[in-house]
């Protein structure tokens, strides 16, 4: 692919040649660098062009409304096109949204016919290609051919500044890739009497498709290069197509992408069965609840009981609110080639999960098809739609929609392209780097904090285990599967219920008393931590393996 591109000159833009002050940074806000492939060009009216246009408009709208980052694909075979867009964290909201709108809109004019483009703007980066590139660092980013600028004004106390800067760079390099937004910013004290600044600040950012190790690798190349490019300078920046490093004397204005707006909450569940008084279970209730059904190879146990039969009532409930939407069965069937085995991502106790492509939304999704006739499956389906659809957090798998029609129950989730943690911990040949394990733990902890403390009610998940912990394209952690979840009021004591969960991950106290609580979830969290650290499943879960 690189051979198709015009040779890229060294894109070193050295600016502010005559003692620029910090205020002159605005001079660089229009800087742009791009690389357009020049051979094998697409033609007007070609399928590739149509796919590209669709991709560019998706990138623009998806990134503007969602975390200021998006990767998308459109089309199939040789006409398939892959795209990525992301804002830099030191641009403000207006600059970012302008860039997300204008960059895709103008790129086909500045790179006519190109099947591969890398474009850097002051506020965002845009890339598209006819070959898969997500997760790969562009070679230019590691070579010399990246764009940089520097403020030539010297720091007053050069030695002290250089020392502070190298400590700053160390911090930035250590952690840039370790956090899900692939972004780290930091300030250290350094007083410059002439410039009137008190701190030295830095930002390291990578595109979010990169694995933590790749991001750290790219940033560490930049930090080494920074000390050569900017010996005494009061500021400097190196910008590549995947990574970005910047430092300056004084504070940096960092704008984090907005959290997704939570949808209007759906009507409260009035079902008293879900919020019983927290009295200890009487012996007969324990007897009934301890009816254990072993799931095929899963050792999962769950409460027995009636399921809701009134699908129309369900529909009324679900339809309200602005979150997930109801899908037509035929759209979901066609998205998965009629639930074909080739599209199957995995199978649980109550159904199978398929990879699907929704043409209308131009979106890849995971579709869970609940086994027909399973009462527990139906119960989990209802619980899942009612609970997860009301929650929004970057570490929770998002429910996009549902469908119950013709005896089928289907749940549509955002696709987690790196599957579940389970496979990464236990499949032969998969070695999960420690930095990713660390990040998974942080992400899971953050999801639990949200569920237990930060939402309007306390959400007990009750089935925390590696197959319910998903990893997205950039290995960010997302907790999924809310089929057994229950809502309780904050401060309420343990919730008396029948048993639910997966053997090996369940709190033994909960198994004895039948009372579940925040602590029971934390017990399961602890078991998962051990599994992440040792790479071994808990004893009971191992027993059930084939
Ligand atoms: P259980 O029935 O006890 O929950 P399980 O977690 O293995 O068992 P499912 O929840 O049905 O079963 O999920 C089956 C598999 O499908 C998961 O292990 C995972 O690999 C895959 N999967 C589920 N949701 C997604 C998703 N959103 N994106 C990608 N893969 C998914
Ligand atoms: Mg599951």
CB distance 482 to ligand 1 below 6 Å? no
Do 409 and 437 belong to one domain?
no
Do 103 and 171 belong to one domain?
no
pLDDT score, position 196: 82
pLDDT score, position 513: 80
Bridge partners of 150, per DSSP, are 236
Which domain range does residue 199 map to? Answer: 142-249
The answer to whether position 335 is within a domain reads yes
The answer on pLDDT for 104 being more than 70 is yes
The answer to whether position 7 is within a domain reads no
The answer to whether position 434 is within a domain reads yes
pLDDT per position as a tens digit, 157-174 = 888 889 989 989 988 887
Ligand 1 atom having least distance to the Cα of 347? 14
Q: Are 315 and 261 in contact (CB under 8 A)?
A: no
pLDDT-derived band at 429, boundaries 50, 70, 90: low
Domain boundary among 249, 266, 294: 249
The answer on pLDDT for 148 being more than 90 is no
The answer on pLDDT for 297 being more than 70 is no
pLDDT per position as a tens digit, 385-425 = 888 888 989 999 999 999 988 788 999 999 988 889 998 89
Do 368 and 291 belong to one domain?
yes
The answer on pLDDT for 94 being more than 90 is no
Do 226 and 171 belong to one domain?
yes
pLDDT score, position 322: 58
Q: What percent of the chain has pLDDT over 90?
A: 35
pLDDT per position as a tens digit, 248-287 = 998 888 887 664 443 333 332 223 333 333 333 333 333 2
pLDDT per position as a tens digit, 106-136 = 999 989 999 999 998 889 999 999 999 998 8
Domain boundary among 197, 222, 249: 249
Ligand 1 atom having least distance to the Cα of 349? 2
Rounded to an integer, the average pLDDT of 483-502 is 80
CB distance 353 to ligand 1 below 6 Å? yes
Q: Nearest Cα to 461, choosing from 533, 523, 514, 412?
A: 523
Give the Å distance between the CA of 420 and the centre of ligand 1: 7
The answer to whether position 269 is within a domain reads no
pTM for this model (two decimals): 0.50
Q: What is the rounded distance in angstroms from the CA atom of residue 271 to the CA atom of residue 284?
A: 22
Rounded to an integer, the average pLDDT of 462-477 is 91
Burial of 255 (0-12, 13-18, 19+ CB in 10 A): middle
Do 112 and 160 belong to one domain?
no
31-35, 143-147, 287-291, 440-444, range with the lowest pLDDT: 287-291
Domain boundary among 249, 272, 300: 249
Give the Å distance between the CA of 149 and the centre of ligand 2: 49
pLDDT-derived band at 364, boundaries 50, 70, 90: confident
The answer on pLDDT for 32 being more than 80 is no
Do 392 and 436 belong to one domain?
no
Is 368 marked as binding a ligand?
A: yes
Q: Where are the alpha helices (DSSP H) in 336-404?
A: 375-388
Q: Are 503 and 540 in contact (CB under 8 A)?
A: yes
Q: Quote the tokens at residue 374.
A: 């399973």
Q: Choose which residue among 339, 420, 469, 505 to substitute to test ligand 1 binding: the one with the highest number of ligand atoms within 8 A of its C-beta.
A: 420
pLDDT score, position 145: 55
CB distance 324 to ligand 1 below 6 Å? no
Supply the residue whose CA is at minimum distance from atom 9 of ligand 1.
348
Which CATH number do you get for residue 163?
3.30.430.20
Do 220 and 172 belong to one domain?
yes
Q: What is the rounded distance in angstroms from the CA atom of residue 237 to the CA atom of residue 226?
A: 8
Rounded to an integer, the average pLDDT of 227-245 is 89
Burial 298-316 (b: 16+ CB within 10 A, else e): bbbbbbbeeeeeeeeebee
pLDDT score, position 339: 93
pLDDT score, position 152: 65
Which CATH number do you get for residue 331?
3.30.200.20
Q: What is the rounded distance in angstroms from the CA atom of residue 468 to the CA atom of residue 483?
A: 11
Q: Are 123 and 88 in contact (CB under 8 A)?
A: yes
Rounded to an integer, the average pLDDT of 344-370 is 89
How large is the greatest C-alpha to C-alpha distance in the chain, in angstroms?
Answer: 85
Do 97 and 162 belong to one domain?
no
Do 117 and 208 belong to one domain?
no
Residues designated catalytic? 463
Do 167 and 123 belong to one domain?
no
CB distance 345 to ligand 1 below 6 Å? yes
pLDDT-derived band at 442, boundaries 50, 70, 90: very high
The answer to whether position 346 is within a domain reads yes
420: region left, alpha or beta (phi > 0 left; psi from -120 to 50 alpha): beta
> How many Cα atoms within 13 Å fall on the side-chain side of residue 132?
5
- Number of domains observed in the structure of the chain: 4
Count Cβ atoms below 10 Å from residue 502 Cβ, excluding itself: 26
pLDDT score, position 530: 95
Supply the residue whose CA is at minimum distance from atom 16 of ligand 1.
346
pLDDT greater at residue 389 or residue 300: 389
Do 456 and 398 belong to one domain?
no
The answer to whether position 318 is within a domain reads yes
Tell me which range, 61-65, 78-82, 209-213, 306-310, is most confidently predicted by mean pLDDT.
Answer: 78-82
The answer to whether position 543 is within a domain reads no
Which CATH number do you get for residue 435?
1.10.510.10
Give the Å distance between the CA of 477 and the centre of ligand 2: 15
Q: What is the rounded distance in angstroms from the CA atom of residue 86 to the CA atom of residue 64?
A: 9
pLDDT score, position 141: 73
pLDDT score, position 498: 64
Residue 437: partners with Cβ closer than 8 Å, 6 or more residues away = 532, 533
Q: Quote the tokens at residue 528.
A: 């998962």
Do 400 and 473 belong to one domain?
no
The answer to whether position 3 is within a domain reads no
Question: How does the average pLDDT of the chain come out, rounded?
Answer: 79
pLDDT score, position 543: 46
């Amino acid at each position: 692919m690189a051979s198709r591109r015009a040779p890229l000159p060294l894109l070193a833009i050295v600016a502010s040649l005559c003692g620029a002050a910090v205020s002159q940074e605005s001079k660089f806000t229009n800087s742009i660098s791009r690389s357009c492939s020049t051979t094998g060009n697409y033609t007007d009216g070609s399928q590739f062009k149509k796919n590209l246009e669709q991709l560019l408009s998706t990138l623009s709208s998806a990134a503007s409304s969602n975390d200021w980052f998006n990767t998308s694909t459109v089309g199939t075979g040789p006409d398939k096109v892959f795209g990525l867009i992301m804002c830099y964290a030191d641009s403000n909201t207006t600059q970012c949204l302008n860039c997300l709108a204008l960059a895709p809109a103008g790129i086909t004019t500045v790179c006519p016919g190109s099947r591969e483009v890398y474009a850097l703007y002051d506020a965002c980066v845009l890339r598209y290609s006819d070959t898969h590139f997500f997760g790969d660092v562009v070679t230019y980013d590691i070579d010399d051919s990246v764009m940089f600028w520097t403020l030539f004004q010297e720091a007053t106390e050069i030695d002290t500044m250089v020392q502070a800067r190298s400590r700053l760079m160390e911090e930035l390099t250590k952690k840039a890739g370790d956090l899900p937004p692939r972004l780290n910013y930091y300030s250290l004290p350094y007083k410059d009497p002439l410039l009137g600044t008190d701190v030295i600040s830095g930002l390291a950012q990578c595109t979010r498709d990169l694995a933590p190790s790749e991001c750290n690798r790219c940033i560490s190349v930049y930090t080494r290069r920074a000390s050569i490019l900017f010996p005494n300078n009061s500021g400097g920046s190196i910008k590549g197509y995947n990574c970005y490093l910047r430092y300056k004397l004084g504070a940096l204005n960092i704008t984090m992408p907005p959290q997704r707006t939570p949808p209007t909450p759906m009507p409260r569940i009035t079902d008293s069965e879900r919020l019983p008084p927290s009295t200890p279970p009487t012996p007969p209730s324990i007897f009934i609840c301890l009816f254990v059904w072993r799931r095929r190879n899963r050792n999962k146990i769950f409460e027995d009981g009636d399921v809701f039969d009134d699908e129309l009532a369900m529909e009324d409930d679900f339809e309200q609110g602005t979150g997930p939407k109801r899908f037509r069965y035929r759209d979901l069937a066609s998205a998965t080639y009629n639930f074909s085995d080739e599209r199957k991502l995995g199978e649980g106790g109550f159904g199978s999960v398929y990879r699907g492509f929704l043409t209308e939304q131009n979106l890849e999704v995971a579709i869970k098809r609940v086994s027909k006739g399973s009462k527990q499956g139906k119960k989990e389906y209802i619980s899942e739609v009612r609970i997860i659809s009301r929650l929004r957090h970057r570490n929770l798998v998002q429910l996009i929609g549902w469908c119950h029609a013709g005896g089928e129950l289907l749940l549509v989730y955002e696709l987690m392209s790196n599957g579940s943690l389970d496979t990464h911990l236990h499949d032969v040949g998969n070695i999960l780097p420690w930095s990713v394990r660390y990040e998974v733990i942080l992400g899971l902890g953050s999801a639990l904090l949200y569920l237990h403390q930060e939402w309007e009610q306390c959400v007990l998940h009750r089935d925390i285990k590696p197959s319910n912990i998903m990893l997205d394209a950039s290995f960010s952690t997302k907790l999924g599967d809310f089929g057994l979840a229950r809502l309780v009021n904050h401060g309420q004591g343990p919730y008396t219920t029948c048993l639910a969960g997966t053997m090996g991950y369940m709190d033994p106290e909960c198994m004895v008393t039948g009372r579940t609580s925040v602590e029971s979830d934390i017990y399961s969290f602890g078991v998962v931590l051990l599994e992440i650290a040792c790479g071994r499943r808990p004893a009971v879960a191992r027993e059930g393996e084939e």
